[in-house]
A = this chain, B = another copy of it.
Amino acid sequence: MENCTPSLDTAFHALADPTRRAVISRLMTGPAPVKELAEPFSIGLPAFLKHLRVLEESGLIATEKSGRVRTCRIRPKRLLDAETWLSEQRALWQAGADRLAAYVENQMTEDNDE
């Protein structure tokens, strides 16, 4: 249940943008060149490349240039790191839920908004 700060910062930050999440989703189905990745979006290439750089520096993706085309692929490890942190937090919460079962039951019933 560490707070292993340095990598989670960049990973969560990278995920906090719809364009970048869409790129992640796309790459989950297999590698792709930059142009194909950028196609669905209405932004220019320079802006899109910035997103790719954020993703790469966060360790969520890896890119490799062969000829004039740069191919991007997913890097599942960092995704798993983020997921692990979240599930650890949930485990922490459930431990507290066991301690204060009745109180938490009350919290949940008033938490069904939105």
Question: Interface residues, chain A, CB within 8 Å of chain B?
Answer: 1, 3, 5, 8-10, 12-13, 15-18, 21-22, 24-25, 28-30, 59, 73-77, 79-80, 82-83, 85-87, 89-90, 92-93, 95-96, 100, 107, 111, 114
Contact = CB atoms under 8 A, between A and B. Distances in A.
Number of copies: 2
19 contacts: A3-B21, A3-B25, A5-B18, A9-B17, A9-B18, A12-B13, A28-B96, A59-B114, A73-B107, A74-B93, A76-B90, A76-B111, A77-B111, A79-B86, A79-B90, A80-B90, A83-B86, A83-B87, A86-B86
A3 B18 contact: yes
Interface of A, secondary structure class, is helix
Contacts of A77: 111, 114
